């Protein structure tokens, strides 16, 4: 029984990590229309794949506050919490360019 408990704890933790990963992937899928599948955009749009976390976060926070003008992003960014923006920053920074 004592050998089973650590394995059970690891299984539960990995399940939570997978749920978080699915949530972030779900949020990121909303970006594909403009920024491309896997964050690689068509010419004329910004690619998000491989973008440093700090740069992504700053841009999103600037859109959210209105410091950076945009046609759509200033509205879309307001739909994300600061924590969700951080999660998206981590997700896109981990993708290959």
List b or e across 49-88, with b for residues whose CB sees 16 or more CB atoms inside 10 angstroms.
Answer: bebebeebbebbbbbbeeeeeeeebbeebeebeeeebbbb
Give per-residue pLDDT as tens, 28-47.
999 999 999 899 999 999 99
pLDDT at 4: 52
How far apart are alpha carbons 58 and 49 in whole angstroms?
A: 16
How far apart are alpha carbons 92 and 64 in whole angstroms?
A: 18
- Residues 27, 30, 34, 37: what is their CA dihedral angle, to the nearest 10 degrees? 70
* 88, pLDDT greater than 70: yes
Give per-residue pLDDT as tens, 2-20.
555 555 444 444 444 577 8
Structure tokens at 26: 């779900």
Fold of 15-94: Cytochrome Bc1 Complex; Chain D, domain 2 (1.10.760)
Confirm whether pTM is higher than 0.85: no
Domain positions in the chain: 15-94
């Amino acid at each position: 029984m004592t050998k089973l408990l650590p394995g059970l704890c690891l299984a539960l933790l990995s399940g939570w990590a997978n749920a978080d990963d699915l949530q972030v992937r779900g949020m990121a899928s909303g970006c594909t229309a403009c920024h491309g599948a896997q964050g690689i955009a068509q010419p004329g749009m910004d690619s998000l794949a491989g973008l440093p976390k700090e740069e992504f976060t700053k841009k999103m926070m600037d859109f959210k506050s209105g410091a950076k003008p945009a046609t759509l992003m200033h509205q879309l960014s307001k739909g994300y919490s600061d924590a969700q923006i951080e999660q998206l920053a981590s997700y896109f920074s981990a993708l290959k360019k």
